[in-house]
Amino acid sequence: MRLVVDLNRCQGYAQCAFLAPDVFAMHGDEGLLYDPQAEESQRARVAQAVAACPVQAILVDELDLAGTGAGPAGTGGEASHA
């Protein structure tokens, strides 16, 4: 699985490092290190970290979706004019 942390948003709360220590680690006072290609087995922990991050800085699988074109194709939402 792929993940990205928006380090501009990240405030170094370390919730993620607490919940998924194999993927996220605090380095120094405010620096966050993480594995952008985390093992699939870490998915549940990463999901917990995503949910726990106070600033929603962790994005999962955004790159995969962008690369494959998977996901909603944007067919809905057209208002019908009478």
Write down the least CB distance from residue 42 to ligand SF4, Å.
14
Question: Which residue number, 54 or 67, has a Cβ lying nearer to ligand SF4?
Answer: 54
Q: What sign does the CA torsion over 61, 22, 13, 54 have?
A: positive
Write down the least CB distance from residue 44 to ligand SF4, Å.
16
Question: Which residue number, 12 or 47, has a Cβ lying nearer to ligand SF4?
Answer: 12
12-71: contacts with ligand SF4 (CB under 6 A): 12-16, 24, 32, 53, 55, 57-58
* C-alpha to C-alpha distance for 72 and 46, rounded to whole angstroms: 23
* Closest C-alpha among 14, 12, 13, 23 to residue 45: 23
Question: Which residue number, 11 or 70, has a Cβ lying nearer to ligand SF4?
Answer: 11
| Residue with tokens 């962008």, as numbered in its chain | 66
* C-alpha to C-alpha distance for 4 and 36, rounded to whole angstroms: 6
Binding-site ranges for ligand SF4 (CB under 6 A): 5, 10-16, 24, 32, 53, 55, 57-58
